[in-house]
Amino acid sequence: MPKPFPPEFRRDVIAVARKREASMAQVARDFGIS
């Protein structure tokens, strides 16, 4: 089972997703999240 992402990483991803016009799928690809 993969290790969960740390809370700091999650906060960063959410902050970027809220600021950008990109889709959630694009943000996930940019951060290497499947």
Give the span between the Cα atoms of 12 and 28, in whole angstroms. 12
- Domain total for the chain? 1
Q: Which helix (H) or strand (E) covers residue 25, if one does?
A: helix 24-31
Expressed as residue numbers, the domain containing 15 is 1-34
Give the span between the Cα atoms of 30 and 26, in whole angstroms. 6
pLDDT band at 3 (very low <50, low <70, confident <90, very high): confident
pTM over 0.85: no
Question: 15-32 burial by CB neighbour count: b if 16+ within 10 A, else e?
Answer: eebeeeeeeeeebeeeee
From the number of C-beta atoms within 10 Å of its C-beta (0-12, 13-18, 19+), residue 6 rates as exposed
Give pLDDT tens digits for 10-27: 999 999 999 988 899 999
